[in-house]
Chains A and B, each alone.
Chain A
Amino acid sequence: MRGRSVKRRLVDYAVHLTTAASALAILGAASHILLSALVEGLPVLLRGASFLLNPPGPPGGEVGGVGPSLAGTLVTVAIATIASAALGIPAGVMLSEARGSLLARVAERAVELIAESPSIVVGLVVFTLLVVPMRTPSALAAAVSLSVVALPYVAAQVRESLAAIPLVYREAAFSLGLQKWKTVFLLLIPMNARGVATAILLGSMRALGETAPVLFTAGAAFQVFYGIDKPSSTLSLLIFFFAGTPYENWRRLAWGAVLLLVLLSMLLASLTRRLAGRVRM
């Protein structure tokens, strides 16, 4: 009567099996995604310079490359990283160091609202406010869109990393008698340079991976990179457009772009992890 009945053991075994199967399904899905990217993408990626520099081939023709889209990605992600850092770091500092003040409280809500906005919504807003007046989609509009999407991640990370500074160090910094905002920028931020670097990396990771914000803003110029104020494209946009085409060569190109994007994302993610110890997901 006492101890573990057969029924309990059976139930436990069943739960063990089903939960293990779920975990295995997650592991399997992740491996399948990465392996597909590797198997389908590697032959394309290995074409080297022609893949990285050339434009896509004609529909149904040769594979070509992702040159213009890669250029568009580098430009837009660079601008978005700088812009989201330029706004997100001070905003994060404000959220952490002026907690409770009216400005910080409003900013808190603002950052939350931007974070809660689906990225397609951000893209549409930038479309109405920038693309329509400029009469053309552009790399610039795409970069603005990506900056807005990356912004709340940067601000939240900066706020967290400042809040995580132990009280003893914080007291030591403020005991030096500098004025408040000087103390923050000259002592607290350097003290947590890793946290700020993590924030910037998180922002660029976000900008690199997003597709929806550039759908309405970048244009669809896969053949040539025309410049910052002209229609352009990004790697993720190229994948989005070429994934569903009936042309074998374009689908293969999309897989090459997937692998390139996966590698870049993993690089940024592991850098972030190394800096922060743990990535906020």
Chain B
Amino acid sequence: MRRSIDVIYLGVATATAIVIAIAAAIVLALSIESSGVLAREGLGFVLSPRWSPSEERYGFYGVALPLVGTLAVGVQATAIAIALSVAAVVYLHEYAPRRVREAIGIAMFAMAALPTVVFGMWGLSAVAPLVREAGLGSLCARGSPTGQSVFTAALVVGLMLTPYASSVVSAAYDAVPFTYVEALHSLGAMGFERARVLLGMVKRSIAAAALLSFGRAVGETTIVALTIGSAFNLPLCPFEPAHTVSSLIASQYGNAFLYPGLTSALSAAALLLLAASAATTALGARIARAAVARGGEA
């Protein structure tokens, strides 16, 4: 009898150990692989704007420009996702009739289920032409002629993140004890006034949603690679094409065997991405858990 139980535990423990090994392999493989380029370039890897794999024997690898691009897309996409989801949550809770509530619930569900490549295809064929036709590119010095730009990428990523962000905000809004809603009604508060007080009570969850969204936006590759226009450019103006770290990695898929230093440089870039995404996501998850543990109170 006792033997068979040990076998079950052994199986569970082995599988768990493999999962731990996978996580370790991700970190170790990236660290070891990236040591080459980091030893060669040092801080220049993150500070230098020069990315030129074919130059000299080893090539030059600096990701300063894509890092700024990642930051720009991340911040804009998060702002769009949070603005849309907070507005939607307020509308759904304070104003919307039930029918509309259901319709938007279905839309959110469908959006959450869509693969990112579908968003990317849509962004490329519907949003980018819109940006181009609207002439937004002419507002910037190096405006995009195709409509593929930092803003285009951020808009589509922001939409992709909206169901996710609003599920976090909505859960917190719902978790505010009903008695506060009653108190606000008893004071004669109107919809926007109730929303202001209740959003104040869930501001931690909104911060958590923003961090979690930012973490995802930083790592998002498919949408960005299709819609950002892939150019080494300092994207100080949102309607210019650029690169993010993830779109840079994606754009090099076919070259990895060609240049001696490229795999190392891509791994170092991936390590940066992992660090940024893990840090913001972990912080966001922690704030979200703490907010839930406090019972929805700020």
Q: Does A106 contact B (CB under 8 A)?
A: yes
> Is A3 within 8 A of B188, CB to CB?
yes
A74 within 8 A of B: no
Interface extent on B, as a size class? 35 or more
Q: Is the CB of A94 within 8 A of B277?
A: no
B19 at the interface (CB under 8 A from A): yes
Q: Quick check: which of B44-52, B61-69, B110-118, B175-183 contacts chain A, the rest being far away?
A: B110-118
Residues of A in contact with B, size category: 35 or more
A-B contact count (CB 8 A): 269
Knowing A31-B107, A119-B219 are in contact, say whether A107-B20 is a contact too (CB < 8 A): yes
Report if B274 contacts A (CB, 8 A). Answer: yes
- A27, B103: Cβ atoms closer than 8 Å: yes
Contact B126 A37, beta carbon cutoff 8 Å: no
Task: Specify the chain B residue showing the minimal Cβ separation from A239.
Answer: B117
| Chain A binder among B91-99, B132-140, B231-239 | B91-99
Residue of B nearest to A262 (CB): B118
**B76 in the interface (beta carbon within 8 A):** no
A163 interface residue per 8 A CB criterion? no
A193 on interface, CB distance cutoff 8 Å: no
Q: Kindly report which residue of chain B lies nearest to residue A11, judged by CB atoms.
A: B192
Task: Check A33 against B16 for contact (C-beta < 8 Å).
Answer: no
Segment at the interface with B among A14-22, A58-66, A164-172:
A14-22
The answer on a CB contact under 8 Å between B83 and A181 is no
What mask results when residues 238 to 277 of chain B are scored 1 for a CB within 8 Å of chain A, else 0? 0000000010011001101000000100110010011001
Contacts of B11 in A (CB 8 A): 90
Given contacts A15-B192, A125-B30, contact A211 B116 (CB under 8 A): yes
CA distance A197 to B49 in the complex (A): 48
Contact A279-B112, Cβ < 8 Å, known A12-B192, A103-B16: yes
Q: Mark A1-36, 1 if CB is under 8 A from B, else 0.
A: 001100011011001101110110111011111101
Is there a chain A Cβ closer than 8 Å to B163's Cβ? yes
Chain A residue nearest to B27 (CB atoms) is: A113
CB pair A125 B117 closer than 8 Å: no
Asked if residues A117 and B277 are in contact (CB atoms below 8 Å), the reply is yes
Is B298 close to A, CB under 8 A? no
Residue from A33, A132, A261 in contact with B122 in the complex, judged by beta carbons closer than 8 Å: A33
Known: A181-B8, A265-B115, A269-B109. A87 touches B19 (CB 8 A): yes
**Min CB–CB distance B137 → chain A (angstroms):** 18
Those of A174-226 within 8 Å (CB) of chain B: 179-182, 185, 205, 208-212, 215-216, 220
Complex contact A121–B117 (CB within 8 A): no
- The residue on A at minimum CB distance from B92 is A23
Contact of B26 among A120, A122, A181, A208 (CB under 8 A): A122
A36 to B126, CA, bound (A): 9
Task: Tell me if A124 is interfacial: C-beta within 8 Å of chain B.
Answer: yes
Q: How far is the CA of A279 from the CA of B113 in the complex (A)?
A: 9
Report B207 CB to chain A, min CB distance, Å.
18
- The reply to whether B29 and A128 contact each other, CB–CB distance below 8 Å, is yes
User: Which 9 A-B pairs have CB atoms at the shortest separation, nearest pair first?
Assistant: A118-B219, A209-B115, A22-B87, A269-B113, A90-B15, A19-B91, A110-B23, A15-B192, A30-B107
Q: List 11 A-B contacts (CB under 8 A).
A: A15-B191, A30-B108, A30-B111, A117-B278, A118-B246, A118-B270, A118-B274, A119-B221, A122-B26, A151-B19, A266-B110
